Each structure stands twice: as C-alpha cells, then as structure tokens.
Amino acid sequence: MHFLRRRRLVIAIVGAGLALIVVAVIGLVGLLRGPAKESQPARPAPTASALAIVPTDQPQPVLETSSPELFARSVAHALFDWDTRQDAGLADWAQVLVDVADAEEAAAVAADVRDYLPGAEMWKRLASYGTRQWLDVESVTVPTSWATALDQAAAGQIPPGTAALTVVGTRHRAGTWDADVERTERPVSFTVFVVCPGQESCTLLRLSKLDHPLE
C-alpha cells in the first residue's frame, strides 16, 4: 500500500505535466498584433532575483525591462515556478503573467497561461503532496524561422519591437509523502512572443504550444 501511494505521488507529479497546453499553432495573422495602446497598470519591478532558478514561495511580478531576452526569461520562470504549499492559488500564479500581457491579446494570453498550469483538480492533488515546481533555463535564443517570418511579412504586419524567443530548460517537481521527497524532471521548450517598443517595458504577446517551439 505504501508503494502504491508513493507511486500515485509520482504519477500525479508527472501526469499534470502531460496534461499541459493544447493550444492551436500560432499563425502570423492571429499572433502578431500591434503593441498595447492602452496604458498598463503600475506594477512593482522585481529585482534580479526574479530570474533565480529556485522555487519561489509567492507569485513574483514579471521583470520590467526593455530587453526581450531578460523579459522572456522572467516570463519562463513565472510560468513554471509555483508552490502548492502556499496560500496563493492558481489564479494568483497566472495573474502575474496576465498583468504583462499586450492589451489586445490579454484574453488569449490568459488562455495560454491557463494551459501551462495544472487544472483545478490536478492542483488539489498536487497540493496534497506539497508539490512545488521550478524551471532551470538552459538557453534563450531567437529561432531561425523568425527571420523568415520577418522577411515574408507584409509591410506593417509585424509591429516594430516584436520578437520571438525560444526557451529551453528542465522542469523540476518535488513533493513529499511520509517525509520522503519524490522528485521528477523533464526537458521543456517553448517560444515566447513579446513586444518591446523602444525603451518601454516589454509586453507578452503569446506563448507557443509547450514543446512545439519555433525552430
């Protein structure tokens, strides 16, 4: 029985990952909208610690920066770094990403983010094991196909400052059963689409399907 319960813990930790994002492949027309024209609500800018590769105990604001790479890294950690042992719920972990969404794509970004997070029932299962998750980012690069997209786009179709960055890393999960810590890990990859207009802070445009990044 003890073996079966521990096996259920591992299945819960792994199974939630397999149930992640099932979003349609992003096309240029639906993807590449202009930068937000509405003013974004003020939000505190996190320090460099927001890019740490360790679990956080509370949702952390996405880094305010005009650097596409730094912004993509911070988005990646906001997507994957969560802890079911805290008072914060699913909506709280998702909100920090919606807060930095492009105004015209906010609803789509919210849907993308929900698909990266466990569902409500799975969250309860993971919480029963005190599960926490974090991401080790190994690389953030501009996909080769993005240059082709820019070359083939019609004039004005892609707003200035729009960028695509593919994140590659390892997702870690840890949970506890009878004081025994169970851990799982697996590689992940995805593309973050951002708009960084001039010296203004970047905004989040869309997320690719998990493990189906632009090449």
Domain range list for the chain: 2-35+55-207
Q: How far apart are CA 122 and CA 14, in angstroms?
A: 11
Please tell me the distance from the alpha carbon of residue 96 to that of residue 76, in angstroms, as a whole number.
12
The answer to whether 71 and 63 are in contact (CB under 8 A) is yes
Please give the Cα distance from 59 to 39 (Å, whole number).
23
**How many other C-beta atoms can be found within 10 angstroms of the C-beta atom of residue 147?**
11
Closest to 212 (Cα-Cα) out of 179, 190, 194, 188 = 190
Measured CA distances, 113 to 93, 150, 183, 200 (Å): 9, 25, 24, 23
- What confidence score (pLDDT) does residue 172 get? 97
Name the token pair of 141: 């690069």
Fill in the DSSP letter of residue 101: B
Task: Look up residue 206 and give its two tokens.
Answer: 């869309």
Using alpha carbons, select from 70, 21, 46, 61 the residue that is nearest to residue 207: 21
H helices of the chain, in order, are 2-18, 28-31, 68-80, 90-98, 106-116, 120-128, 144-152
- In sequence order, what DSSP letters do the residues of 121-158 get, joined into one string? HHHHHHHHTT-EEEEEEEEEE--HHHHHHHHHSPTTTS
Walk along the chain (215 residues) in steps of 10 and give the mean pLDDT of each run. Answer: 48 45 30 34 42 63 97 98 94 97 95 96 95 97 94 86 97 90 95 94 97 93
